[in-house]
Amino acid sequence: MNENRDDTFLARWLNNDLTEEERKEFEASDDYRSYQKIVKASGHIMAEEFDTDSILSRVKSGRQATNATREASHARTVKLWGYGIAATVTLLACFFYFYTRDTLVSTDYGEQMAITLPDGSDMRLNARSEAVYNSQNWQEQRKIELAGEAYFKVASGNTFTVSTSHGEVSVLGTEFNVQSMNGLLTVTCYEGKVKVVTSHSEHILKPGDHFRSLDGSESLSVIKENAPGWASRESRFKSMPVKYVLMALENQFNVDFVYDQLPAEQLYTGSFPHSDVNVALDVVMGALLIEYEIRNDGTVLLKD
Amino acid sequence: MPDPKKTLCDESEFDAFFKDQVKSLASYLYYRFGDREQAQDIVQETFSKLWQQCAEVPLEKARSFIYTVASNLFVSVKRHDQVKLRYREQAVELNNVNNESPEYQILEKEFMEKLTDAIASLPEKQRAAYLLNRVEKKTYREIAEIMEVSVKAVEKLMHKALKKIKDRIGDL
């Protein structure tokens, strides 16, 4: 080693901070080529990739679980119903620690979660959904802020309100489903009576009534099912614009669609299973007569 | 909801901070301590603590908070796996595709193996500084902030790291 070199010499060389004189002398030295080769080869080392999305969703799902263990917070977002119920028990335990704060529950792609609310009402969250409520004053005000989709079985009591960016749904005690995303609000009543208030109108739904508001245009129809399809791992649609069907596929399977133009006026009536992304794509695209291709990067290309 | 001020309890603030910092933190922990899985778990635990204590940690202290918490968590974990670095084999070969014999290409691969071994066996701070600079393209100043040391100290770590790598690989 050349004695002219101090203990930051190589660092300064890497940073192009050597003086002209130092640099010339170094380039003429015996070990210059070795260093050059090491630095060049180091450039071929690949940066490590981390799954930051799933880290973030686990961080969020752990918000109400300070006193639970890390293992328990892993269990919070669960893929299976059975685990969802187990997680509910942990959640209930945490209410005692966090009764002063709003409780936030959320699900990631393809996940569902079962929550028991403080009065025993059930809430099931579908994939990529988020609900916020305050369990401290729950008995005085049963109110949930929802983004996404959830199915409720409400214990009887005072008014139970689901607030979304597209309108409010309030009931006394009943079973109903609320879906709120990007310009779409649907409410289905399975039992009891449900009141829907949007900026345009007010409706009272009876069992079997299905309300839909799509970009401000509202309609009422009748359904035969006694629970939403997604609760039994199937998404069902009736005369639904294609873009919302694609959104539902994205929420379940974490896929991205790539396309030039969607058949805007085409509507989809049918379902897809949550068990297999290939089957789901086959079923939906087959019915819509859209050819598609799953590309190497995981995106799905829709052809004209 | 409460909190009229901008704080990390505001979800969009928290998400932005997370996106801004998560990759640096995860890479740093992995390069310094090894063990990818542990690094991811500790990143998650660290941000969970921040999320839970969002009201007590002001935005300007948050960066130093996560590095301190994560480093403490890592030091308290006993066993770490060695850093396993991957490299672009194609790139290595492409450089020599025209006039080099297959034997030479194998030598190149051997060299990459030696290099990654040498880096893996560096002392942890030297390894973290070297990889953050060479792989993650962080400046010395950025590394100094991450490791909470002076820029001069980073330069010393870089110098020592490069010299050790060369000594370990031996004759090229």
- pLDDT tier, B86 (very low <50, low <70, confident <90, very high otherwise): confident
Say yes or no: A162 and A272 in one domain: no
Q: What is the pLDDT of residue A74?
A: 34
Say yes or no: A247 and A169 in one domain: no
| Residue from B162, B169, B171 to probe the interface with A (highest A Cβ count within 10 Å) | B162
Whether B73 has a pLDDT exceeding 50, the answer reads yes
Mean pLDDT for A137-152 is 88
Give the chain A residue whose CA is nearest to the CA of B94: A44
Whether B55 has a pLDDT exceeding 60, the answer reads yes
Pick B85's closest partner by Cβ from A45, A56, A102: A45
Structural tokens at position A288: 């819509």
pTM above 0.90, yes or no: no
Higher pLDDT among residues A124 and A78, named by residue: A124
CB contact under 8 A, A11 and B134: no
Pick B165's closest partner by Cβ from A38, A59, A73: A38
- pLDDT tier, A172 (very low <50, low <70, confident <90, very high otherwise): confident
Residue A190 vs residues A176, A209, A223, A276: alpha-carbon distances, Å: 5, 8, 9, 28
Within 8 A by CB and 6+ apart from B170, the residues are: none
User: CATH number of the domain that A152 lies in?
Assistant: 2.60.120.1440
CB contact under 8 A, B140 and A35: no
**What length is written for chain A?**
304
Whether B2 has a pLDDT exceeding 70, the answer reads no
* Chain B nearest CA to A291, separation (Å): 34
Q: What is the ipTM of this complex?
A: 0.82
| Residue from A5, A6, A7, A8 to probe the interface with B (highest B Cβ count within 10 Å) | A8
Whether A187 has a pLDDT exceeding 90, the answer reads yes
Q: What is the pLDDT of residue A175?
A: 85
A190 located within any domain: yes
Say yes or no: A118 and A244 in one domain: no
The domain containing residue A264 runs over which residues? 233-302
Say yes or no: A58 and A136 in one domain: yes
CB contact under 8 A, A46 and B88: yes
> Of chain A residues 71-100, which have a CB less than 8 A from chain B?
73
A48 close to B (CB below 8 A):
yes
Among candidate residues A164, A196, A229, the one where a domain is terminated: A229
Whether B158 has a pLDDT exceeding 90, the answer reads yes
User: CATH number of the domain that A280 lies in?
Assistant: 3.55.50.30
Say yes or no: A132 and A199 in one domain: yes
* Chain A nearest CA to B134, separation (Å): 6
For chain A, how many structural domains are there in total? Answer: 3
A24 located within any domain: yes
Whether B97 has a pLDDT exceeding 80, the answer reads no
Cα separation, B45 vs A194, in Å, equals: 41
Sign of the C-alpha dihedral computed for residues B111, A42, A12 and B124 taken in this order: negative
SS3 letters across B69-115: HHHHHHHHCCCCCCCCCCECHHHHHHCCCCCCCHHHHHHHHHHHHHH
B124 close to A (CB below 8 A):
no
CB contact under 8 A, B91 and A15: no
Say yes or no: A126 and A110 in one domain: yes
Whether A71 has a pLDDT exceeding 70, the answer reads no
Cα separation, A258 vs A20, in Å, equals: 52
B136 close to A (CB below 8 A):
yes
A199 located within any domain: yes
